[in-house]
Amino acid sequence: MKGNGWDAGAPAVQLWGVSKTYHNGTTGLQDVTLEIPPGEFVFVTGHSGSGKSTLLKLLYGAEQPTVGRVLVGGQSVPDLDVGGLARLRRQLGVVFQDGKLIPQRTVAENAALALKTRGYSRGEIERRLAAALKLVGLTAKAHCFPEELSGGEQQRAGIARAVVHTPQLLLADEPTGNLDPDNAWQVVQIFKKLHALGATVVVSTHDEALVRAAKHRVVRLQAGAIAGPPSAFNVVSR
């Protein structure tokens, strides 16, 4: 623990009996218990409306559970104050369906922003930018603006921004939802590389073919609940 509250020895993610009911009474999640050890690659899959985004939002603190415990890096996310949540988010990388890039900034500037707000030196920013752009195959497009990129390139730029600070945990919510199969597979390959470098990776997708091809642990949601037999309650023994 280097003063950031993240316990590297704890599971990256723990959910215990988590339910989420939205203000209008809609069920987002239903009694979900789940543990993800550090360094694991997990797909969260299920039809549209099954609760994938809700699950990820609970992990980065954008939504609060109605019932149950949500721990990320050993910290109870709903109990964090504003400063604690900001510190937690500095340990996370979050990727969305669209790259969510700032249109007026280049690829390099978009990615560097995450480092500037984290107080990195100029030299360290240069070093990290180069590595992240290389990882996603955008070195040659560093000075392009988002509108000059294809959809797949925009998404890879978003991934560079999400990983440039070497997050403990990468959360990607339908990162391939707008991509054709070739671009989707490229994105999965990038996540696999990150995983090989030691990151914990959680990717939501409704694309069952992609999940089958990627061969990682799968958590399947159905109407907000974990589908299938409750074998060991999805808790991996360590």
Ligand X SMILES: Nc1ncnc2c1ncn2[C@@H]1O[C@H](COP(=O)(O)OP(=O)(O)O)[C@@H](O)[C@H]1O
Interaction partner, residue 61 (ligand X, Mg ion, none; CB < 5-8 Å by kind):
none
What pairs with residue 95 in β-bridges?
172
Between 26 and 66, CB nearer to ligand X:
26
Q: Which stretch binds Mg ion (CB under 5 A): 15-23, 46-54, 69-77, 188-196?
A: 46-54
Stretch that binds ligand X, among 52-60, 77-85, 149-157, 194-202 (CB under 6 A): 52-60
106 binds, among Mg ion, ligand X, none (CB under 5 to 8 A by kind): none
Asked if residue 52 binds ligand X (CB under 6 A), the reply is yes
Residues 97 and 89: their CA atoms lie apart, in Å, by 19
Question: Is residue 233 a contact residue for ligand X (CB under 6 A)?
Answer: no
Beta strand 13-21 with 67-72 is: antiparallel
CA dihedral sign of residues 43, 48, 49, 54: positive
CA–CA–CA angle 38, 39, 45 (5° rounding): 95
Cβ partners under 8 Å of residue 136, min gap 6: 156, 157, 159, 160, 190
Number of residues that bind ligand X (CB under 6 A): 12
Is residue 65 within the footprint of ligand X (CB under 6 A)? no
- Cβ proximity to ligand X: between 32 and 111 the closer is 32
Q: Does 53 bind Mg ion (CB under 5 A)?
A: yes
CB of 198 to ligand X, least distance (A): 27
Q: For residue 145, with 0-12 CB atoms within 10 Å meaning exposed, 13-18 middle and 19 or more buried, which class applies?
A: middle
Binding site for ligand X (CB under 6 A): 22, 24, 26, 28, 46, 48-54
